[in-house]
Amino acid sequence: MPTAPRGVGNLRGEEGFPAAARTALADPQLRRNLGHATRTIRAKRASVVAEVPDWQELRAAGAAIKDDVLARLPELLVQLEEQVTARGGTVHWARDAAEANAIVTRLVQATGADEVVKVKSMATQEIGLNEALEAAGIAAWETDLAELIVQLGHDKPSHILVPAIHRNRAEIREIFLREMGKVGRPAPEGLTDEPRALAEAARLHLRRKFLSARVAVSGANFAVADSGTLAVVESEGNGRMCLTLPQTLITVMGIEKLVPTWQDLEVFLQLLPRSSTGERMNPYTSLWTGVTPGDGPQEFHLVLLDNGRTATLADPEGRAALRCIRCSACLNVCPVYERTGGHAYGSVYPGPIGAVLSPQLTGVEDNATLPYASTLCGACFDACPVAIDIPTMLVHLRNRVTEAKEAHGPLPGAEATAMRAAAFAMSDRRRWTLALRSAKLGRLLGRDGRIAAVPPPLTRWTRTRDLPVPPPESFRDWWVREHGGRS
Amino acid sequence: MRIGLEATCLVDGMFPQVGRATVRLLERLGHEVVFPLEQSCCGQMHINTGYGRFALPLVRRYADAFADVDAVVVPSGSCAGSVRHQHAALARAAGDEGLARAAKEVAARTYELSELLVDVLGLADVGAYYPHRVTYHPTCHSLRVLRVGEKPLRLLRNVEALDLVELPEAESCCGFGGTFALKNPDVSAAMLADKMRHVLSTRADVCTAGDSSCLMHIGGGLGRLSTGVRTVHLAEILASTKDDAESGATHATGTAQGVAS
Ligand code: SF4
């Protein structure tokens, strides 16, 4: 099964998670920004979720609908294609990022336009569409406020919902003052870092783009198979401008974004806003079905993107990752994400969902450190509105990483050796008893009842922690001494 | 009741006082405790690090060792969680349906300490005496895999002379995560730093939990900083009695876990 190709898109980092995390941890400002933002949104989400008496039933319904979609994906996709086509839209199938980029580029070129406005979309980030358009001489303008901040800052998004979560107001003001004028209407003179002033600057800057653009590119939160309807939910309304003003609308959508019927939307329109922004309802919900003569875009293209999703679907233990509705609740509750931010994950999908989704889309060998970027604390599972058991899936993917390594020959490294040795000792009573006795050797290293430095690979542990000294007598030796042969 | 003790590899080798306290407590409550010497480790470390295959013999040993007891007690939330949620699945994935059945059966009789005391033995007051200011860290696996909820707190509230103080942001992970602490040492240390800050803010002299591994991590950090705060397993607190305190027995106050006191 083909996975997402290398060399295109944003699913792979340049370095592994531990190294990238170190960079993030060394930035105290970043940690403050992240800690503050995630704490705030966690509290907001918790309170609006607590209001809903049947939240657990809603979660179960969301999970069941998505599982049904995954079980019937080919059939539902064909139904969606028929409906979209019948309503005057055109459907394109893209096997991977490279194909999707080529299709969109060709469609934009056919309109003669050299710029597009964009609705915030994870799918287009995933495939690196902006870079591909730029290479073809087409400018892509992000219109979501946080996405605009990232774009103007020549930065990468670090959160699914709030791509600029790692930035504070002062930094944003600087970016606006420095960059806006280079690509359009400059920021007003005397701009302050008040949220209202920053938003107004963005509004004025973006208005020009909205009014001049003839082509818009969006993603989709949902697509309804039985009516061919596409849905985008948002907070700011900028997406709605893109979805209604231009002549041509091109939507890039991962094939798992389907729901079978219009009625199923009801469940997700309750789950999504409460989980993501901590709002009872999102301020803007845009729904469109094909084209309507004289109203809105007169040309509509839907690009259905695989890019490793079919490969993910093929793994029964991993496919539930495709239930994800990109609410980002798992990021905000994750203690690892809170310390490292999104860039450490190297993919547009950071945090717990990124740790299970990215390695599946790319193949585990290309993102082999991500399944280990978790303590398996389980907070993500509890928060997930479609009940993806991320911890169990992480464990499954760790096993797949080991298997993938094994495919190249005997497992290398100190870790595999230690694991093998431990399993060997533990699976025989006599060996295990002896192993526990020899652990007493550790006493030679310890002073004052603690070990402050040990040989590798434990050195990294003792950099910040003392290891306890093994006791003179193991529990089992005590038991035998006290209870004799009774076992 | 005939109760089998799964000491866990960490308790057996590093924190035998936790195993001894568990035995003392259950025997004081009038139960027979057995320790099948065939046992070794629940296999969690292997499973969670991606070496599930290596753990299969350990799953079998566990099922065999505890085949004939009424209940199994594990003084570790994460090991009890592994037995309950991973053992049968691992056997099934390996195509061993017989072992999967046996694993499922023994898992249904396996309890973490507070579950055994409250749910099975119907106790909230175990007659313990522990004159210290104590804060409780609800380890992630007890909290979210086993869902022990308030049980450990109910037990602690009934300990005579114990001053229980609430831990701020108690439910956030301490950053141990088994081999996570080795694979991602910097993130782990950052999480630990916050946990220690919260523990110190309570001004408790003892931090307790139901898992020796998390206590080893937290205690190791607190020891490095010479904070004077000790980490003591829940079993040691519940096993302590007034007699112990008066006779000055060494086990009365438990032994610090992270660093020997
Ligand atoms: S995995 Fe669940 S919690 Fe995380 S983004 Fe997806 S739907 Fe939201």
pLDDT tens digits, one per residue of B114-148? 999 999 999 999 999 999 999 999 999 999 999 99
**pLDDT tier at A483 (50, 70, 90 boundaries)?**
confident
Mutation choice for ligand 1 from A268, A331, A374, A386, CB with most ligand atoms inside 8 A: A386
Same domain as B90, residue B8: yes
pLDDT of residue B189: 95
Of B120, B148, B179, which closes a domain? Answer: B120
- Whether the CB of A23 is below 8 Å from some CB of chain B: the reply is no
pLDDT of residue A139: 96
B41 found inside a domain: yes
- Which residue range(s) make up the domain with B191? 133-247
Of B68, B86, B120, which closes a domain? Answer: B120
The pair of three-digit structure tokens given for residue A84, joined into one six-digit string = 């979209």
- Whether the CB of A430 is below 8 Å from some CB of chain B: the reply is no
Amino acid at A17: F
Same domain as B116, residue B137: no
d(CA B204, CA B233): 15
Same domain as B143, residue B99: no
- Whether the CB of A18 is below 8 Å from some CB of chain B: the reply is yes
B40 found inside a domain: yes
Ligand 1 atom with minimal separation from the A331 CA = 4
| φ, ψ at B208 (rounded to 5°) | -120, 165
Check pocket membership of A364 for ligand 1, CB cut-off 6 A. no
Same domain as B110, residue B43: yes
Same domain as B175, residue B112: no
- pLDDT tens digit sequence for A328-363: 999 999 999 999 999 999 999 999 999 999 999 999
B26 found inside a domain: yes
**Helix, strand, or coil (residue B91):** helix
d(CA B196, CA A466): 14
**pLDDT tier at B1 (50, 70, 90 boundaries)?**
very high
The C-alpha angle with vertex A139 and arms to A108 and A97, in degrees rounded to 5, equals 60
Based on the structure, what is the number of domains in chain B? 2
B261 found inside a domain: no
Window B:1-60, CB contacts with A under 8 Å: 7, 9, 11-17, 19-20, 23, 34-38, 40-41, 43, 45-55, 57-58
Check pocket membership of A324 for ligand 1, CB cut-off 6 A. yes
Query: Cβ contact (<8 Å) for B57 and A427?
Result: yes
- Whose CA is closest to atom 4 on ligand 1? A330
Same domain as B72, residue B161: no
- pLDDT tens digit sequence for A64-103: 999 999 999 999 999 999 999 999 999 999 999 999 999 9
The pair of three-digit structure tokens given for residue A371, joined into one six-digit string = 């399944």
Same domain as B110, residue B32: yes
Same domain as B149, residue B104: no
**Helix, strand, or coil (residue A113):** coil
B253 found inside a domain: no
Does residue A457 have a cis peptide bond before it, meaning omega lies within 30 degrees of 0? Answer: yes
Residues B89 and B103: beta-carbon distance below 8 Å: no
CA atoms within 13 A on the CB side of A438: 7
CA atoms within 13 A on the CB side of A150: 23
Amino acid at B165: V
Amino acid at B19: G
Residue B258 clears pLDDT 70, i.e. is over it:
no
Check pocket membership of A84 for ligand 1, CB cut-off 6 A. no
CA A53 to chain centre: 28
pLDDT of residue A416: 82
Same domain as B212, residue B103: no
d(CA A127, CA A101): 7
- pLDDT tens digit sequence for A205-222: 999 899 999 999 999 999
pLDDT of residue A443: 64
d(CA A204, CA A12): 35
**B34, closest residue in chain A (CA to CA):** A487
B258 found inside a domain: no
Window A:30-59, CB contacts with B under 8 Å: 31
Same domain as B178, residue B139: yes
The DSSP 8-state label assigned to residue B160 in this structure reads: B
Q: Where are the beta strands (DSSP E) in A184-317?
A: 215-218, 222-224, 229-234, 248-254, 258-259, 284-289, 299-305
Question: What ipTM describes this predicted complex?
Answer: 0.93
d(CA A388, CA A324): 8
Q: Name the nearest CA neighbour of A42 among A344, A268, A334, A339.
A: A334
Of B71, B88, B120, which closes a domain? Answer: B120
**pLDDT tier at A445 (50, 70, 90 boundaries)?**
low
Same domain as B106, residue B158: no
pLDDT of residue B257: 47
Residue A238 clears pLDDT 90, i.e. is over it:
yes
B259 found inside a domain: no
B43 found inside a domain: yes
Same domain as B241, residue B141: yes
The CATH number of the domain where B223 resides is what? Answer: 3.40.50
Closest partner CB to A460 (pick from B41, B50, B185): B185
